[in-house]
């Protein structure tokens, strides 16, 4: 009997929250949303999806080629601009461009910090300080810089900040840089959510599980390149070529089977964070995130250490 009551209460809570999240904000056609990292992947898909729903999208790309390609896919209401989030001068130039696009009477409704690069597989000692810094400059410090620069426009629009973290910001999968940066995104987002609430700005975090994107494709090329640079003594210390190939084969098998190809789940979560009247604070996206990584994040460290041991 107690079990049935517990299940009934859980279902009721789920239903109430589901209904609570349905209402959308009005006047979407008057909203302006800036998205970083639109060259490919989630950012590219989100820009096209929001544009199709009447929102004024300002999609930033790293390369001229990507900007031109995406610009040709957007309607006249939307724009594609250049921005390197790791370069403060480029971020300032993007701010000036956004100010030209958005009418002075309107503020910025949404900022989606989506730009990111992958980390490096292999042992910590293999990778230099500069290689760690390269990942952090884009995934964390770039996100912080873009947020700081565009916050005045967000205050005017009393809008939303949507920061793309990862399930790797909740559970560490050993590699160089990526998890560190995503833990930082989680922390920064929690901090500014409290600070900016007084200004009418909501902060949401997107925590995708493993999805097939450019970050998962080509994961092993840097590892092989770095391995080739190591001294024979270092390679032998880590087990030699046979051990490397065995580990690559094991991870490759996981990357072939684990990542979902339904990237629309992540994009829809981003859209909900921008358009829902009552958005969630966190969106854990994917069955692996909800059923494996989130529960795992509450486990004792000895459990995660065992599961991700490198032997």
Q: What is the DSSP letter of 211?
A: B
pLDDT of 232: 84
**Do 40 and 66 contact (CB within 8 A), yes or no?**
yes
For the whole model, what pTM was predicted?
0.89
CB atoms inside a 10 Å sphere around CB 277: 11
Digit-coded pLDDT (tens) for 59-86:
999 999 999 999 999 999 999 999 999 9
Distance between CA atoms of 220 and 214, rounded to whole angstroms?
Answer: 12
pLDDT at site 311: 60
Q: Which of 277, 202, 267, 214 is nearest to 50 (CA)?
A: 267
Q: What is the DSSP string of 239-284?
A: THHHHHHHHHHHHHHHHHHSSBS-THHHHHHHHHHHHBSS--SEEE
Taking 50 as the pLDDT cut, the residues of the chain under it are none
Q: Which residue is associated with the tokens 């024979």?
A: 232
What pLDDT is recorded for position 201? 96
Number of H helices, E strands in the chain: 14, 7
Is 178 a residue of the active site? Answer: yes
**Of the residues 32, 120, 178, 283, which is catalytic?**
178
pLDDT at 181: 94
Residue with tokens 């460290």: 301
Handedness of CA 252, 257, 260, 261 (dihedral sign): positive
Q: Give the distance between the most distant pair of CA atoms in the chain.
A: 66
SS3 198: helix
Digit-coded pLDDT (tens) for 190-199:
999 999 999 9
8 Å CB contact between 210 and 118: no
């Amino acid at each position: 009997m107690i079990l049935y009551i517990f299940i009934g209460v859980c279902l009721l809570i789920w239903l109430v929250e589901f209904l609570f999240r349905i209402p959308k904000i009005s006047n979407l056609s008057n909203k302006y949303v800036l998205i970083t990292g639109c060259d490919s992947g989630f950012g590219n898909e989100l820009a096209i999806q929001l544009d199709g729903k009447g929102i004024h999208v300002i999609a930033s790309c790293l390369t001229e080629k990507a900007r031109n390609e995406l610009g040709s896919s957007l309607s006249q209401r939307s724009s594609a601009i250049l921005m390197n989030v790791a370069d403060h001068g480029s971020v300032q130039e993007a701010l000036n461009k956004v100010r030209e696009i958005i009418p002075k009477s309107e503020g910025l409704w949404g900022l989606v910090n989506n730009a990111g690069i992958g980390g490096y597989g292999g042992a910590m000692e293999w990778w230099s300080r500069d290689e760690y810094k390269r990942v952090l400059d884009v995934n964390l410090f770039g996100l912080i810089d873009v947020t700081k620069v565009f916050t005045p426009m967000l205050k005017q629009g009393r809008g939303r900040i949507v920061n793309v973290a990862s399930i790797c910001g909740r559970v560490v999968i050993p590699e160089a840089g990526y998890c560190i940066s995503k833990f930082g995104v989680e922390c920064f987002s929690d901090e500014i959510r409290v600070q900016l609430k007084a200004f009418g700005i909501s902060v949401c975090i997107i925590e995708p599980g493993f999805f097939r994107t450019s970050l998962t494709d080509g994961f092993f090329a840097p590892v092989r390149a770095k391995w080739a640079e190591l001294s024979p003594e270092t390679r032998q210390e880590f087990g030699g070529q046979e051990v490397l190939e065995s580990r690559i084969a094991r991870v490759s098998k996981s990357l072939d089977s684990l990542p979902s190809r339904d990237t629309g789940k992540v994009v829809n979560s981003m859209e909900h964070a921008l358009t829902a009247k009552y958005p969630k604070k966190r969106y854990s996206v994917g069955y692996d995130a909800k059923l494996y990584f989130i529960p795992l994040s509450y486990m004792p460290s000895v459990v995660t250490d065992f599961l991700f041991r490198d032997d």
